[in-house]
Every structure is written in C-alpha cells, then in structure tokens.
C-alpha cells in the first residue's frame, strides 16, 4: 500500500515523463549521487508501478550492512540506469551536465540537505519544494525519537533556499509560514491541492473472508499516534459484543506501543481486526464495500484516505479538522474527537442502515491536472 508521499512523488514523475522536455533525476545512494536521464527515470517508473521487476543487489549493495534487500536492489538498479555518478562532495560537478534553464523539484521531504540545495542554487537552478505538513513541529510528541530537530532543519533550509514553496492545502501554508516567519523572509508560496488517482477496486485479490458479510467499518492509515487508533478502540469497547466489525487497514508505525499491545490482544473472532499489507486494489475494494470510513486523525496536511473513500462512494466520519473542510466540503459527517458519544451514535446508526443521505454522490476531488495547472503556470 503506497503512502501519500509515495503517490505524490509518482504523480510528479509521471507528469514530467509525459512532457516533451528533458528531465533528469538526482538520486542519493549510500556511495554518493547518481544522475538519471529520461530513459533512466522511465525505467524507475516502470519498476515502481510493477511493469518491470527490480533487479538483484550488486557488489556495492552487498557491502552495505543492514538495510532491506529491496533497498539494495533499488540502489543497484539506479546505478545501472544512471548516466553519471559523483562522490557527495562533487554534486556541483554532476549538475554541470544539466542543460540551461532547469528547475529542481523536491516533493517528498527527502534530500533537503545543505549539500544538495546549495549545489542546486549555485548552479543557477530554481528550487521548488512541496511541503506536505509541519506536523513534527506542532506535535513533537507524535514523532519518532530524534526526528523533530532534523525536520525543523529541513524546513529552515526550505525557507533559505526555495524559490517557490508548493503547499498541498491553505491550512498547510498557514501553519508552515507561521514557523518560517520566525526564521526570516518567507519564500513565495502557492496552494495546489493534491490529485487523486484511484486504483481499480479488485475484490478478487482480497484475503480469504474479505469483504466480510454484514456491516463493517474501515480506517485507513499507518498506525501511528496522530492517526488516533486508540480512540476507535475505545469506542468499540463501549459498543460491546454487538458492535459491527472494524477493520484497521495499515502498517504499524512508531511510538505507539500501547495501541500495538491492544491490537496484539484482540480476539481473532472479535469485532476488531487488523489488516496490514493490502495491495492498493484490495484496499480500494474493501473501502468501496464498507458501511463507513472512519478518520479520527488529530492532525493532517491533506488526508487522502477520506478523499478516496468519498470517490469510492463510501460515507466518511472524520474529526472536525479545518484542513478537511477545505477540500471535502460538506460530504463527510464531522465530529470532534472530544465528543466520543457523537461518534458512537453515528456508527450505531450507520450500522443499522440509517442515514443514507450521507452516502456520497457527485463528489469531485482535486485532480492532478488541476494541481499541475497551478504549479506549472506559476513557474511560467
């Protein structure tokens, strides 16, 4: 199941490959940096979407201690596909191979280092950075140990180097610029809502026994503190033995041991099940047939799961976050997570077939064409 950031990076890659202009990719590896041309990027795209298999680790990859086999295979393929390589301190030399009037896009919160950004800026290349959120600065208690300060440093470098900052929502822009203002001059920013490309639902690839018979609810997202899975577990305890089925779909994240312990203690025959590692097509099938999709997240930069649920025709019950109102409008039922009784009432009502008025019809989500029309027209 691809993350939201994964999907954004893939959308940008596909868009640039679709245009009749030169495009290049700068890749950081354990042994230095690589430069890929259009052909190399197309091969990476094809591997990422499963059209071409990844290769095997090469000799350099095997020298690395730790790391996943998939990561080692990817680095080996990147080396094979590259048109140039450079040690970390020679990134400026690598960039001299690029044509004039290039623009650099960083859309995944990675590789926002002084080394790369200063080299790109020194080469006279415009820097465009997409900021997904500043949740680590606002909710440090939700983050992995040791990640908050590095994230702050990244955002400070974005403020320092970026010619244009792309925000996925007006809410993200407001929150990010509030931090940047305290650090210095704020770079130019634009808001471009993320597009959505729904996978085709395929119930045939669901595990045995899914989708279940009878009413069931889903919640989709990495099991991390800000997604607030503990809130749903509390509700299901209150609903008791007659509760409808709740399917928790997502991989386990970090800093959430109390929730993990509760999940480990679940009765396999009970009303709550943890369903990890679903393919995108399987997950879409499960959401499409659900009685409702639940989204009690405490903080979001955008929030793709409720968008996708509405596009699939599934009712959404979500926390009353300003950012969700921005692009979901009045389609969901909003309920603050301080009002557990409201959540319980809606869930019981939906489970018994009530409130068909909130079954979404005609919902129009932002598209990637909308997004790129804004981003690329601003660049001119």
Report yes or no: 379 and 126 within 8 Å, Cβ to Cβ: yes
Q: What was the pLDDT predicted at 70?
A: 84
Q: Check pLDDT > 70 for residue 358.
A: no
Q: What was the pLDDT predicted at 112?
A: 96
Whether 4-197+369-379 shares its CATH topology with 203-358 is answered: yes
32-36 vs 84-86, strand pairing mode? antiparallel
CA gap 363, 329 in Å, rounded? 9
**Multiple choice CATH, 203-358, 3.30.70.260, 2.60.40.10, 3.40.50.2000, 3.40.50.150:** 3.40.50.2000
Q: What was the pLDDT predicted at 197?
A: 84
Domain at 4-197+369-379, CATH class: alpha beta
CA gap 194, 185 in Å, rounded? 26
Query: Confidence class of residue 2 from pLDDT cuts 50, 70 and 90?
Result: low
Query: Confidence class of residue 28 from pLDDT cuts 50, 70 and 90?
Result: very high
Query: Confidence class of residue 199 from pLDDT cuts 50, 70 and 90?
Result: confident
Q: What was the pLDDT predicted at 356?
A: 67
CA gap 265, 175 in Å, rounded? 38
Domain spans in the chain, listed from the N-terminal domain onward: 4-197+369-379, 203-358
Q: What was the pLDDT predicted at 59?
A: 80
Lowest mean pLDDT among 51-60, 77-86, 353-362: 353-362
Q: What was the pLDDT predicted at 379?
A: 59
Helix (H, G, I), strand (E, B) or coil at 283: helix
Average pLDDT over the chain, rounded to an integer:
93
Q: Check pLDDT > 80 for residue 4.
A: no
Q: What is the mean pLDDT of residues 299-325?
A: 94
Q: Check pLDDT > 80 for residue 67.
A: no
Q: What was the pLDDT predicted at 43?
A: 96
Q: Check pLDDT > 90 for residue 359.
A: no
Neighbour count for residue 103 (Cβ, 10 Å) = 13
316-318 vs 126-131, strand pairing mode? unpaired
Whole-number Cα distances in Å, 5 to 138, 146, 159, 209: 19, 21, 20, 30
Q: Check pLDDT > 80 for residue 351.
A: yes
């Amino acid at each position: 199941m691809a993350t939201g950031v994964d999907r954004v990076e893939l959308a940008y890659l596909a868009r640039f490959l679709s245009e009749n202009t030169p495009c290049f990719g700068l890749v950081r590896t354990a042994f230095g940096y690589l430069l890929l041309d259009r052909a190399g990027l197309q091969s990476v795209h094809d591997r990422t979407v499963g059209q071409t298999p990844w290769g095997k680790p090469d000799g350099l990859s095997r020298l690395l201690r730790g790391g996943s086999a998939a990561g080692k295979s990817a680095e080996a393929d990147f080396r094979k596909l590259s048109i140039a390589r450079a040690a970390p301190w020679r990134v400026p030399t690598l960039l001299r191979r690029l044509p004039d009037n290039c623009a650099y896009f960083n859309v995944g919160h990675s590789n926002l280092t002084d080394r790369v950004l200063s080299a790109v800026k020194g080469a006279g290349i415009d820097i465009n950075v997409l900021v997904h959120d500043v949740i680590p600065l606002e909710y440090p208690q939700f983050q992995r140990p040791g990640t908050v300060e590095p994230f702050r440093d990244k955002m400070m470098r974005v403020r320092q180097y970026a010619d244009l900052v792309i925000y996925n929502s007006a809410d993200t822009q407001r929150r990010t610029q509030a931090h940047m203002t305290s650090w210095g001059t704020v770079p130019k920013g634009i808001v471009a809502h993320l597009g959505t490309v729904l996978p085709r639902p395929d119930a045939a690839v669901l595990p045995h026994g899914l989708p279940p018979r009878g009413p069931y609810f889903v919640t989709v997202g990495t099991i991390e503190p800000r997604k607030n899975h503990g809130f749903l577990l509390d509700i299901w305890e209150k609903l008791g033995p007659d509760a409808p089925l709740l399917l928790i779909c997502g991989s386990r994240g970090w800093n959430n041991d109390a929730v993990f312990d509760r999940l480990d203690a679940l009765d396999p025959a009970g009303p709550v099940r943890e369903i990890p590692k679903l393919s995108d097509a399987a997950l879409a099938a499960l959401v499409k047939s659900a009685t409702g999709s639940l989204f009690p997240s405490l903080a979001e930069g955008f929030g793709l799961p409720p968008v996708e649920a509405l596009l699939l025709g599934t009712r959404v019950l979500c926390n009353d976050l300003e950012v969700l109102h921005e692009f979901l409008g009045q389609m969901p039922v909003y309920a603050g997570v301080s009002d557990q009784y409201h959540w319980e009432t809606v869930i019981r009502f939906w489970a018994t077939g009530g409130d068909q008025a909130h079954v979404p019809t005609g919902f129009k989500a932002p598209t990637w064409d909308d997004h790129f029309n804004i981003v690329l027209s601003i660049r001119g």
